[in-house]
Amino acid sequence: MEAPLVCSLRTAFAVFVILPFAASADRDLFFCGTWRHGKHPLSVSFDVKPGCGGLSVSAGERSLQVSGHMAARCRRSGVHHLRHDELHAEGESYFCLYWEPLQDQLKLQPRPMVDVVDSSTQVADGVVAQVRGNNLTLCWPTGMPDSCCTYLSHASNAPQAAYGIAGGTIEDDVITDKTLTAFDFTGSSVKCATFCQQGSRGSARVNVTDPEPPCTLSSQVEMKDDFDGVNIRSPHVDGVAPESATFFHLPPALKRAGGNSSKVVYAFFKNNSVFQEGLKEARILNDVVEISMENEVIKDLPEPIKIGFHHDVVPKTHSRTCVSWDTRKDPMKVTWSVEGCETQPKGDKHTECLCDHLTYFAVLVQLKPRPVRHLLALTAITSLGCALSFISCMALLVFFCRKRQAKDASTPIHLGLAVSLAFLNLLFFLTGVLANVGVHDLCVLAGAGLHYALLSSFTWMGIEVFQAFWLVYVVFRPSPNPCVWNLLGFGVPVVPVVVLIAVGDVYGLRKVASAEGQENPFLMCWMKQTEEALLAHYFTNLTFLALLVSAGLLMLAKVYKEIRTRDEWRKNRVAFFSIWGLSCLYGTTWGLTFLDFGPLSDFVLFLACVLNSFQGFLLMLRFYVVDWMRKHQLGNEKSPGKVCRLPASQSTISHEPLEPLCPGS
């Protein structure tokens, strides 16, 4: 008897406590359940109409249906066929249905299989359907309507079945753990102004701490015969100056383009998360503005609509673009387009958009650094510099191979640097061609090779710094064996590259967008735009570069201290070629990479591009000029019968002991 009694008490508790609470008079509806379906091709069908007759969510072996009369303006129907990657292979898909009457929106979205649902993940905008993957929007937000279909409550249970909706909940309160074919809800029609002072829990709605009442989000303006344009600002918010509010200007040309229509409906959406859907590398800044005209499609206006957005500070390293919702593509998904809008930044917190059509408008900011300015010019300079540097490095190889008989300890190091720079410039010159071939594995290999060549060049420059220190301060000890240098210069960079290849998703196709036009980005085989690649860039490239530049600058200072008292230093050309040449040899020109900010950003970028892409040519010029100067000095300054040799510590100009040369002669 005890078991039946306990069962009866539980049933009574569910009937008199749980169900009334689940069906309480909430303004919105948050219904979740598990769709138990077959492994056949599946679909989501919808039929949404204006009214307040009720809402039905039903499911079977092949289809999930959402239908009813609960919208204020939305009237849509259709079928969305689910792809394989939008479904759970186990035959169960967890979903949630979310209704927001204040903005006339309903959404069917995927949900994680957890017991407690965080309200921050709730979204709302029209009717949206999705079991897994991207949300499918059926009815988009239209601002607050006059009449709201609200207080939706569970009406009755449908029959049990093998396929259907299991574990239905409202606001995380269990309705039933059985599998039913449908769940029906009834509602009441009320004036939306009733909710003016009420907050909203959904992330797509007005936040509960937002002082702006949601009833002021939407309105309309009537264009009379003498319409000559109008300025409209978003509703006043406490603590925000009126001039800092989002606004838009409707031009007189809109009246002529509207034909028989004279009413323009507009709405301001504050931080509406539904508009963020599908955006992985960008986000919408603050407000979204909707401007539409009843029963009219407005485009190609001769005089654009001006929309002024006041938003959070946008860092100068990130780009912002005026975008509009492109309704020509999949109407069930958010698609932002730059077409038809012109962006005019007015400061860190203000952006003006000039658009020639009506739809939803917003400012899109890239989460990654801004597109490259003057990309075409920089690409041309880099290509020319890399081609010339490759030829120069090949000439240096011939030059150093001829000098190897002189048994100079510095020659193998110069030779290694020339080889690595030649490889780097060749791959960088060809990276655009290899990227456009379209072979993924080839691009991965080229990206890894380019990274190896860059790290190898940095390593050999570091060895040049160490060798200079050795020649200046270690006089009586021989330089390390060339095999040691080769092992370091060509072997050490292999380690991080092999590790990154093993990690995966680091090397591959990279798109470099131009600030002048992002439609045709420059393609190259390099590190991809992934989190793994970004970490690899910080821990390899920037780390190597920071160490190299620091050591190079320190060594330049020490070299200057050693040679500033020499007679040769007093000759300007020797001093110039000494410091200028050594700065390239020690890799300090790469330090300009860290100075790409502020008002001189473009100048620094061009300077770094020229110096680093032409580095091979500059080094060849440096070695040939210094070699010519050394021979010229020896011919002019030798005294008959007098032999003098400077110590090795005085030979930092060319990293070689000078022939008999008497100071002061």
Q: How confident is the model at residue 104 (pLDDT cuts 50, 70, 90)?
A: confident
Cα 298 from chain centroid (whole Å)? 32
Under DSSP, is residue 306 helix (H, G, I), strand (E, B) or coil?
A: strand
User: Quick count: other Cβ atoms within 10 Å of Cβ 271?
Assistant: 17
- Phi/psi of residue 588, nearest 5 degrees: -70, -20
Query: 77 near 48, Cβ under 8 Å?
Result: yes
Q: Distance (Å, rounded) from C-alpha 141 to C-alpha 79?
A: 20
Contacts of 91 (CB under 8 A, 6+ apart): 36, 37, 38, 39
Write out pLDDT tens, residues 564-613: 666 655 555 555 555 666 777 888 888 888 887 666 778 888 888 998 99
Q: What does the pLDDT read at residue 16?
A: 35
Q: Distance (Å, rounded) from C-alpha 585 to C-alpha 567?
A: 23
Of 458, 386, 456, 455, nearest in space to 425 by CA: 386
Q: Average pLDDT over the chain, rounded to whole?
A: 75
Q: How confident is the model at residue 461 (pLDDT cuts 50, 70, 90)?
A: very high
CA distances for 403 relative to 397, 400, 406, 484, 584, angstroms? 10, 5, 6, 20, 21
Where are the strands (E) in 111-238, listed by range?
A: 128-129, 136-137, 147-157, 160-170, 173-180, 182-191, 218-222, 230-233
Query: 235 near 214, Cβ under 8 Å?
Result: no
Cα 109 from chain centroid (whole Å)? 25
Query: 66 near 129, Cβ under 8 Å?
Result: yes
Enumerate the β-bridge partners of residue 183.
Answer: 57, 157
Where are the strands (E) in 41-90, listed by range?
A: 43-50, 54-59, 63-71, 76-81
| Residue with the larger pLDDT of the pair 509 and 203 | 509
User: Quick count: other Cβ atoms within 10 Å of Cβ 26?
Assistant: 16
In the structure encoding, which two tokens stand for residue 571, read together? 């000759």
Write out pLDDT tens, residues 613-664: 999 998 888 888 777 877 776 666 554 444 333 333 333 334 443 332 222 2
- Phi/psi of residue 570, nearest 5 degrees: -75, -15
Task: Over range 381-400, report the average pLDDT.
Answer: 93
Give yes or no for residue 110 having a pLDDT over 70: no
User: Quick count: other Cβ atoms within 10 Å of Cβ 36?
Assistant: 20
Q: Distance (Å, rounded) from C-alpha 304 to C-alpha 358?
A: 10
Q: What does the pLDDT read at residue 525?
A: 93
Query: 30 near 204, Cβ under 8 Å?
Result: no
Of 415, 420, 422, 428, nearest in space to 390 by CA: 422
Q: What is the dihedral of CA 326, 332, 334, 337, to 10 degrees?
A: -20
Query: 469 near 557, Cβ under 8 Å?
Result: no
Helix runs in 156-259, H state only: 253-257
Q: What does the pLDDT read at residue 587?
A: 81
Sheet of 92-100: strand order equals 105-110, 92-100, 29-36, 160-170, 173-180
b/e 397-436 (16+ beta carbons within 10 angstroms → b): eebbeebeeeebbbbbbbbbbbbbbbbbbbbbbbbbebbe
Q: Distance (Å, rounded) from C-alpha 459 to C-alpha 480?
A: 16
Enumerate the β-bridge partners of residue 353.
Answer: 307, 343
Give yes or no for residue 366 having a pLDDT over 70: yes
Under DSSP, is residue 164 helix (H, G, I), strand (E, B) or coil?
A: strand
Domain boundaries, the chain: 23-195, 217-366, 375-650
The upper half-sphere exposure of residue 167, i.e. CA atoms within 13 Å in the direction of its Cβ, equals 14
Give yes or no for residue 519 having a pLDDT over 60: no
Contacts of 629 (CB under 8 A, 6+ apart): 573, 574, 577
Q: What does the pLDDT read at residue 571?
A: 59
Lowest mean pLDDT among 19-33, 373-387, 395-409, 511-525: 19-33
Q: What does the pLDDT read at residue 327?
A: 64
Q: Distance (Å, rounded) from C-alpha 235 to C-alpha 221?
A: 14
Q: Distance (Å, rounded) from C-alpha 40 to C-alpha 11?
A: 36
Give yes or no for residue 31 having a pLDDT over 50: yes
Query: 286 near 308, Cβ under 8 Å?
Result: no
The upper half-sphere exposure of residue 532, i.e. CA atoms within 13 Å in the direction of its Cβ, equals 14
Task: Over range 160-189, report the average pLDDT.
Answer: 88
Q: What does the pLDDT read at residue 490?
A: 94
User: Quick count: other Cβ atoms within 10 Å of Cβ 333?
Assistant: 14
Q: Looking at the whole model, is its pTM more than 0.75?
A: no
In the structure encoding, which two tokens stand for residue 239, read together? 């603590």
DSSP summary character for residue 663: T
Lowest mean pLDDT among 131-140, 417-426, 606-615, 622-631: 131-140
Which helix (DSSP H) or strand (DSSP E) does residue 95 occupy?
strand 92-100
Q: What does the pLDDT read at residue 284?
A: 83
Per CATH, the number for 375-650 is 1.20.1070.10
In the structure encoding, which two tokens stand for residue 499, read together? 């590790």
In the structure encoding, which two tokens stand for residue 455, read together? 């790290």
Q: Looking only at Cα atoms, what is the longest distance across the chain? A: 127
**Single-letter amino acid, residue 42:** L
Give yes or no for residue 278 having a pLDDT over 90: no
| Residue with the larger pLDDT of the pair 417 and 314 | 417
Q: How many residues does the chain have?
A: 665
Task: Over range 127-149, report the average pLDDT.
Answer: 61
Q: How confident is the model at residue 381 (pLDDT cuts 50, 70, 90)?
A: very high
Q: What does the pLDDT read at residue 86?
A: 52
b/e 610-638 (16+ beta carbons within 10 angstroms → b): bbbbbbbbbbbbbbeebeebbeebeeebe
Q: What does the pLDDT read at residue 207?
A: 30
Lowest mean pLDDT among 253-257, 476-480, 587-591, 659-663: 659-663
Which range has highest mean pLDDT (235-239, 315-319, 590-594)?
590-594
| Residue with the larger pLDDT of the pair 630 and 68 | 68
Which helix (DSSP H) or strand (DSSP E) does residue 288 occupy?
strand 287-293
Q: Distance (Å, rounded) from C-alpha 426 to C-alpha 274?
A: 47
Pick the CATH number of 217-366 from 2.60.40.1180, 2.60.220.50, 2.90.10.10, 3.30.540.10: 2.60.220.50
User: Quick count: other Cβ atoms within 10 Å of Cβ 14?
Assistant: 14
Q: What angle do CA 579, 581, 584 make, to 5 degrees?
A: 105
Lowest mean pLDDT among 181-190, 485-494, 556-565, 619-628: 556-565
